[in-house]
Amino acid sequence: MDLRSGTPVWLAKVPPEPPQPDLDGPMECDIAIVGAGITGALVAWRLVRAGHDVVLLDRRESGRGSTAASTALITYELDTSLIELRRSVGRARADRAYLAAAAGVRLIGETVRDSGADCGYEEVPSLYVASDPADAADLSRECAARRELGLAVTELSSAEIADRFPFSRPAGLLSERMAQLDPVRLTDRLLDAAAMEGARIRTGPGAVLASIRCADRVELVAPGGVVRARRAILATGYESQSYLAAPVASLKSTYVIATAPAQPLGEWPRHCLLWETARPYLYLRTTPDGRVLVGGEDESIVDPKRRDALIPKKAARLAERAARLFPSIDFTPEFSWAGTFAETPTGLPCIAPLPGMPGVWLALGYGGNGITFGAVAADIICAAIAGARHDAEDLFPLPA
């Protein structure tokens, strides 16, 4: 699958990593992971630290799938609000999913601290604004629902938003303890650390998972050889539909621009993440070197040629919309890119054993906070491998 195109700002900033070797023969290990994106990296790093012998395969260089396209807003806010999610999956499950996501945000912070990964990590709040006056009442209900869960959130009136920001909106929710980071750097740093501790990473055409066999061991069959493991984890992102009996997520295209660095961010309180109630939504974040990333303008197309042909038009539109919010910032895109994006009908990820394949787990963080759910997946799967119970172990099954 063609996951992205254009130039994500993260790839322009990092010096190329030395290429990882390709798979060129059979391998034996305790745990095999397929997918060296942010999810596979989080899982690998955790498992290696827990003392497991890990082999990790990827058809691409690490971090060069959807992870490179990501804007990496680290938030517990799903694209589906808590009150909406309560309506669609029931109150208990919705509340547990939001709490699991909040724990995921904390886990990412802990991972960055424990690994020492230099990845531009910053803890920031998130401002979710009403795009339309009719959405203000929903935001009030959302605020009350989140507070019931103990999440730190404040409702802002139109006047309070206008007082703090250079724009006005009918209402807003300011949620604390979210974050932002460079997803490629975090992936690369975690995989470097895992490799230093003995993880064997194989990337390239030999490492493309073709099929899975399960007998006394799990066998991952790839052109370069068969990897035999006690357990396997598929952290294969949006390309995972081929292992599933039926598609679980719908695909669309989404667009991002990044400005030049050193923008005047003085009128941007606490450099908060910004997004809105309209669907598709516009969203913005800053970077430590003073760039602004603006994303949105989603289209329900999946054909990469049609997706990519729209990049110039979508980039111009994102810049124009963002400039209406922050007139003193120069939103001329220095980078623009497009990505394929997948979401399940509920907005929840799939973190569960793969049916009919004993010992194989799926770690698929769908939706706008897929990275957060990558951390949740790592936590759930590591607990399962250690034989421990996890609060969220039954929460994200494959949709029926």
Residues in touch with ligand FAD (CB under 6 A): 3, 34-40, 57-60, 65-67, 69-73, 207-209, 235-237, 239, 254, 256, 295, 339, 341, 365, 368-372, 374
What angle, 0 to 180 degrees and rounded to 10, lies between the N-to-C axes of helices 38-49 and 91-115? 70
Rounded distance, CA 352 to CA 342, Å?
18
Contact 360, 243 (CB under 8 A): no
* Minimum CB distance to ligand FAD smaller for 136 or for 319: 319
- Beta carbon of residue 89, minimum distance to ligand FAD (angstroms, whole number): 20
Q: Which whole-number Å values give the CA distances from 128 to 105, 140, 157, 174, 254, in the listed order?
A: 17, 12, 12, 7, 19
**Residue 94: phi, psi to the nearest 5?**
-60, -45
Please state the closest distance from residue 316 (CB atom) to ligand FAD, in A.
17
Distance CA 350, CA 219 (A): 22
Q: How far is the CB of 206 from ligand FAD (least distance, A)?
A: 10
Residue closer to ligand FAD, measured from CB, 170 or 366: 366
Q: Closest separation between CB of residue 103 and ligand FAD, Å?
A: 14
Residue 170 or 368 with smaller CB distance to ligand FAD: 368
Nearest approach in angstroms of CB 398 to ligand FAD is: 15
Return the number of the residue (136 or 236) whose C-beta is nearest ligand FAD: 236
Contact status, residue 70 vs residue 283, Cβ threshold 8 Å: no
Nearer to ligand FAD, 112 or 208 (CB): 208
Nearest Cα to 74, choosing from 107, 49, 31, 52? 107
Stated as kind and residue range, the H or E segment containing 340 is strand 335-343
Q: How far is the CB of 13 from ligand FAD (least distance, A)?
A: 16
Identify the burial level of 122 via C-beta atoms within 10 angstroms of its C-beta, where 0-12 means exposed, 13-18 middle and 19 or more buried.
middle
Nearest approach, Cβ of residue 41 and ligand FAD (Å): 7
Residue closest to ligand FAD, measured at CB: 370
- Specify whether the CB–CB gap between 329 and 286 falls below 8 A: no
Q: Which is nearer to ligand FAD, 66 or 263 (CB)?
A: 66
Q: Give the C-alpha separation, 178 to 272, whole Å.
A: 9
Identity of the residue, 40 or 359, whose beta carbon is nearer to ligand FAD in the bound complex: 40
Element (DSSP H or E) covering residue 155: strand 153-157
